Structure 1
Amino acid sequence: MEMKRDRANFLSGVIIGAAIEVHRELGPGLLESAYEACLLYELKQKGVRVASQVPQPVVYKGIKLDCGYRLDLLVEDLVIVELKAVEILHPIHTAQLLTYLKLKNLWLGLLINYNVPVLKQGIKRLVNG
């Protein structure tokens, strides 16, 4: 368990570095999908295993139900990255990522809002439990 957390912490630094690179290149004002494609590219260039738009079922009474949830990015099956391009982050955005972390039984998630002048202002690190 501790090794997974160490790896997740390491990956969060790599993800944030790549996200900052994307923001430096593109700036604010684009659609979330553009940032997602560019961050996916950056992470793959760094040799990181990453998947985008990963289906996340809800388990209800032991049955997996597809309710349309999609993880923006799942990095090495350890870190969920939820991307936004909104004026301000709202509590519902945090709740969404925390729910994904619980459903996936993962420890670490990053909520990244690209619609900010300096990306550091738009990054929120969330821990499940």
Structure 2
Amino acid sequence: MVFSPQKPQKFTQMTQKHENDISYLVRKAAYTIHVALGPGLLESVYETLLCHELRKLGLNVQTQVPLPVVYDGLKLENGFRMDLLVEHKVVVELKSVEVLLEVHHMQLLTYLKLSGYKLGLLINFNVPYIKNGIFRKVNGLEEHSASSAQPSAPSAG
């Protein structure tokens, strides 16, 4: 008898999910981590934990994804590194800082523009309530009716 490994059912279903559905799962996982551990940890810790939570759901998660920059015929292979890429659709930029600056928001928008991905989340874990640390950025994303029924990220207090 030949054993033929198959993808977990959850993963198979997720590859067909819209960006908004994936975003909901990322926000829910961030909430779970924040409730359990709170603010104050290093960004790398939150990155590892968020990957763990998302992979438990069967999601494909890549970390520190190189993003080349092309300018005037010059290609920089590792111009940037995206913290997370979930299901080859949603870019997640993580922070653990006292104050998010405008440049952090612009960084994610630049990643979306350069990569062609349509949805990104900027998540700052160093806040009392995680709902105040999650920001959604879009780059030409078309909405769909199923995701509009999704509740927003749970509040942490």
* TM-score higher than 0.5: yes
Which runs of 5 or more residues in structure 1 are unaligned?
A: none
Give distance in 2, aligned partners of 1:28 and 1:125: 20
Q: Does 1:64 align with 2:102?
A: no
Aligned to 1:34: 45
Give distance in 2, aligned partners of 1:71 and 1:110: 11
Q: Which amino acid aligns with 2:129?
A: V
Q: Which amino acid aligns with 1:106?
A: Y
Q: Does 1:13 align with 2:27?
A: no
Q: Alpha-carbon deviation of 1:112?
A: 0.2
TM-score w.r.t. length of structure 1: 0.91
Q: Alpha-carbon deviation of 1:66?
A: 2.4
Give distance in 2, aligned partners of 1:50 and 1:26: 21
**Which structure dedicates a bigger proportion of its chain to helix?**
1
Aligned to 1:54: 65
Q: Alpha-carbon deviation of 1:31?
A: 0.5
Which runs of 5 or more residues in structure 2 are unaligned?
A: 1-14, 141-157
Q: Does 1:108 align with 2:119?
A: yes
Give distance in 1, aligned partners of 2:53 and 2:79: 26
Report sequence identity in percent.
56
Q: Alpha-carbon deviation of 1:67?
A: 4.2
TM-score w.r.t. length of structure 2: 0.75
Give distance in 2, aligned partners of 1:101 and 1:121: 22
* Alignment check: 8 A CA contact 2:69 2:79 kept: no
Q: Does 1:86 align with 2:103?
A: no
**Any idea what SS the aligned residue of 1:10 has?**
helix
Q: Which has the larger radius of gyration?
A: 2
Provide the aligned C-alpha RMSD in A: 1.5
